[in-house]
Structure 1
Amino acid sequence: MGSPVGLWVCLWHLSLLLLSWVGSAASGDCKGQRTVLRTFPGFVSDGPGNYSVNGNCEWLIEAPNSNYRVLLRFLFMDTECTYDYLFVYDGDSYSDRLLASLSGSSLPPTLEATSGKVPRTGHG
């Protein structure tokens, strides 16, 4: 691959409102608590059906160490445009670099986080 020793690419398949998934998954009611994901590949969902009004979902995707990169590929996304947002950062806090601020149903391009940690938060 031509990469430094120990550098692997972690591929995460992320989706909002995904009705079915396989493998490692994180889903459920958004109660403002952070869910940490450490296995890959994986899927992220806020659960089947509509998300709750004024919900606050938070996931932290964490690679084994900082030599890993995390690639985020969205399979499906559907939020109320201009009201509900999904924020993706490169690092483990909201003071780190913002990779994307997403809203609506258009799929974003694949996002790459080089820090090995990606906090994602959704506000509805």
Structure 2
Amino acid sequence: RYNMPGYSGWLATTSDFNTCWIQVDLKENKLIGGIVTLGRTTNITNPQYVTKFRITYRSEESDSFTEYVNTEGNETFIGNTINYEPIFNGFNAHFLARYVRLYPLAYRNMPTLRWELYAC
């Protein structure tokens, strides 16, 4: 969750920077309406956060992941511009999913984040 206290967050290993992703299992299908991302809380001289990302998802009934594309045809999201301020991205095309993956596409210093999905 993005609002947990402390300094921790997900951090991709150095070797994974170009192919890394993080996945959540919601345990059952949910209608997803948005996402909040937040950087990893570190010191001010080494902020770490994801600045651009994409989302894929899969329902319980599916064997493959689907790339999220909004109603304007965009498949990438603008992430954080600083590490300590949460950013909300709404999904104007809601989707049904049990599994959701976030793929960092660009980041500051390290691809680190905390995140939370919002169901409808």
Task: Name the TM-score class by shorter chain.
Answer: 0.3 to 0.5
TM-score when normalising by structure 2: 0.43
TM-score when normalising by structure 1: 0.42
Considering Cα pairs closer than 8 Å and 6+ residues apart, tell me whether 1 or 2 has the greater RCO: 2
